[in-house]
Structure 1
Amino acid sequence: MDAPGGAAPASRDAAIEVIQRELTAFARRSRATAARMHPELSLVSFTLLGHLEFQGGCRATDLAAHYTLDKSTISRQVGALERAGLVERRRDPADHRVHVLHLTERGNAVLAQVAGARRVAFHERLAEWSGPDLSRFADYLLRYNENVTGSAGE
């Protein structure tokens, strides 16, 4: 809805402020929830494990590029995951100079446990939402994430 006199920017700016504030609150809650669900697994670690599972393994440089993170950040995260026994490096059969990261058996088990707990939490949180509301929300999140790749301020 536009403000009186057709001043849409004020309404648009207000909506963007609400979105920014609520996404920040969501991110903070997600980090806190991740810590409660599995003390070894930060939200970043969970995200990286999920990506490795989805991709069937990948190089550390691929993780850095996908999440637009510094290689040193990925290196520290991957090192911690390796020390925890959740990830292992394997030589790429196509190029023996390259190491590919894969989930270990323990990594798969921990990821499944945390993913299951997160799914339950989301189902509980969204239990009152209608099917169409859930579909719209999912569509909006997909649309938002498709449009932010490489944007400033992230």
Structure 2
Amino acid sequence: MAERDESIEIIQREMTAFARRARATAARMHPELSLVSFTLLSHLEYQGGCRATDLAAHYTLDKSTISRQVGALEKAGLVERRLDPTDHRVHVLHLTGRGIEVLGQVTAARRVAFRERLADWGGPDLERFAEYLLRYNQAAGESADEIE
């Protein structure tokens, strides 16, 4: 059991370092885009737009936190609200043309950085790493669902 505890401690420490590095890297890649902003824009792009309440639920964040983040993205001209065509009481968030452009720039820069960091990794190692990350995030998402 001690080996398992030691492994979990290493994972926790390394994931914390990864998160800190990700925040710092995001700030250097684009002055307007924090890691949270990048994440929200990426989700909006992937979903083709969604409601602010959907963002809050997906990321298990308080609605007021999402509201502040979305407000900043709107002010920067990266996101706009549109009426839902099927329910005019609902506003759906979408990337603006500028939002698509900025997200594309940051995504390309991040992809280059990841390719450089993982350049020495073989295909099987990359596949295993990707599989483990997917598995971890799926379990983390299920745990968050249980809390609600």
| Of 30, 33, 36, the match for 2:25 | 33
5+ unaligned residues in a row in structure 1: which ranges?
Answer: 1-8
Please list every run of at least 4 consecutive aligned residues from structure 1 whose deviation after the TM superposition is greater than 6 angstroms: none
Query: Given the alignment, which residue of 44, 54, 60 partners 2:46?
Result: 54
State the shift of 1:150 in Å: 5.3
1:151 to partner: Cα distance: 3.2
The structure with more helix, counted as a fraction of residues: 2
Matched, 1:114 2:112: no
Alignment match, 1:149: 141
Cα distance in 2 for partners of 1:150, 1:28 equals 24
Q: Tell me the TM-score normalized by structure 1.
A: 0.92
- Percent identity of paired positions between Structure 1 and Structure 2: 81
Measure the CA separation in 2 of the matches of 1:148 and 1:112. 27
Query: Considering only aligned residues, what root-mean-square deviation do their CA atoms show, in Å?
Result: 0.8
Distance 1:17 1:149 in 2: 20
**Residue 133 of structure 1 corresponds to which residue in structure 2?**
125
In 2, Cα distance between the equivalents of 1:30 and 1:109? 21
| 1:21 is aligned to 2:13 | yes
Matched, 1:71 2:63: yes
Q: Are 1:87 and 1:102, in contact at CA under 8 Å, matched by a contact in 2?
A: yes
Q: Per-residue deviation at 1:149?
A: 1.4
**Unaligned runs of at least 5 residues, structure 2:** none
The match for 1:6 is none
Higher-RCO chain (CA-CA 8 Å, sequence separation at least 6) = 2
The aligned counterpart of 1:90 is 82
- Over alpha carbons, which structure has the higher Rg? 1
Equivalent residue number for residue 5 of structure 1? none
In structure 1, the partner of 2:116 is 124
User: What is the DSSP-based 3-state SS (H/G/I as helix, E as strand, rest coil) of the residue aligned with 2:141?
Assistant: coil
What CA distance in whole angstroms lies between the structure 1 residues aligned with 2:2 and 2:63?
40
Q: Partner residue of 1:44?
A: 36
